[in-house]
Every structure is written in C-alpha cells, then in structure tokens.
C-alpha cells in the first residue's frame, strides 16, 4: 500500500495562517506576514509561499488589491473539519487489519463525546 499525502493536510505554518484568516476574514499579504510571519522571524516570501500553497489546495481565495493580494478562507472551519473527516475516513478504510486495530487502540484518546458520536455513527451505518 502506497502512502499518499492528503490534500487537506496542513503543515504547522499553513494551519497558523488559515486560523488567522478564519479569525480576521480577509487579509492582505503584508498583514498576514505581520500577524503570523514577523513574530516567528519568517521572511515575507515564506508567508507568501504558504498563502500560495493554501490557494493551490483550494483552502483560500485570492483577490487583487493594488500591487498586493488579499486572501480569505475558501471554507469555514466547520466545512474544513467535515472535508478533513471524510478524507481521513477514506484513509482509515485503506488500513490493513493491523493498522485498523492500532487506530482503534489509540481512539481512547478522543474526547468521550466524540467517541460516543463515533460509536453512534458506526451503529447507525450497520
């Protein structure tokens, strides 16, 4: 079985940028750099690259704003979580018996309410 990178998986910096956009709505590239990049000592071009990756993944939309661009989330947090859940479920279905057993063994770390909802969904699917 080949290991593949999921399309909605985010690197740490991508997650920070997307979180900031969810909080603010729409920000110009320099504002994203000020909020996320500068406190971490990152170059402007690094933040720009992250925004371009999020755009390529379909997680942000870009609008021209003079010589710069502004970016806004393409999905709400809830929509992102739903898509991510669907993608992760697809990955779980590709696990071997041993992999699925390991996954279920680690499920005890889930919030009890999430685990109860998971159990209910499994029962309803039967």
pLDDT digits (tens, 9 = 90+) for 21-73: 999 999 999 999 999 999 999 999 999 999 999 999 999 999 998 888 999 99
The pLDDT of residue 8 is 61
Q: What is the mean pLDDT of the chain?
A: 86
The Cβ of residue 73 has, within 10 Å, a number of other Cβ atoms equal to 21
Handedness of CA 2, 83, 85, 52 (dihedral sign): positive
Task: Give the SS3 label for residue 91.
Answer: helix
The band of 80, judged by pLDDT with boundaries at 50, 70 and 90, is very high
pTM score, two decimals?
A: 0.74
Alpha helix ranges (H) inside the chain: 12-24, 29-32, 44-56, 77-93, 97-106, 112-125
**Which range, 2-6, 15-19, 84-88, is most confident?**
15-19
Which of the pair, 120 or 3, is modelled with greater confidence?
120
- Which CATH architecture describes the domain 12-73? Orthogonal Bundle (1.10)
> For residue 76, how many C-alpha atoms fall within 13 Å in the half-sphere facing its CB?
3
Domain boundaries, the chain: 12-73, 77-125
């Amino acid at each position: 079985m080949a290991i593949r990178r999921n399309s909605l998986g985010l690197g740490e910096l991508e997650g920070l940028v997307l979180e900031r956009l969810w909080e603010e709505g729409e920000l110009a590239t320099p504002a994203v750099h000020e909020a996320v990049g500068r406190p971490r000592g990152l170059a402007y071009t690094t933040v720009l690259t992250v925004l371009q990756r999020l755009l390529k993944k379909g997680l942000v939309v870009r609008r021209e704003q003079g010589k710069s661009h502004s970016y806004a989330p393409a999905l709400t947090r809830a929509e992102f979580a739903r898509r991510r859940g669907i993608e992760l479920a697809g990955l779980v279905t590709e696990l071997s018996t041993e992999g699925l057993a390991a996954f279920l063994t680690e499920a005890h770390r889930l919030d009890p309410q999430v685990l109860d909802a998971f159990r209910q969904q499994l029962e309803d699917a039967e």
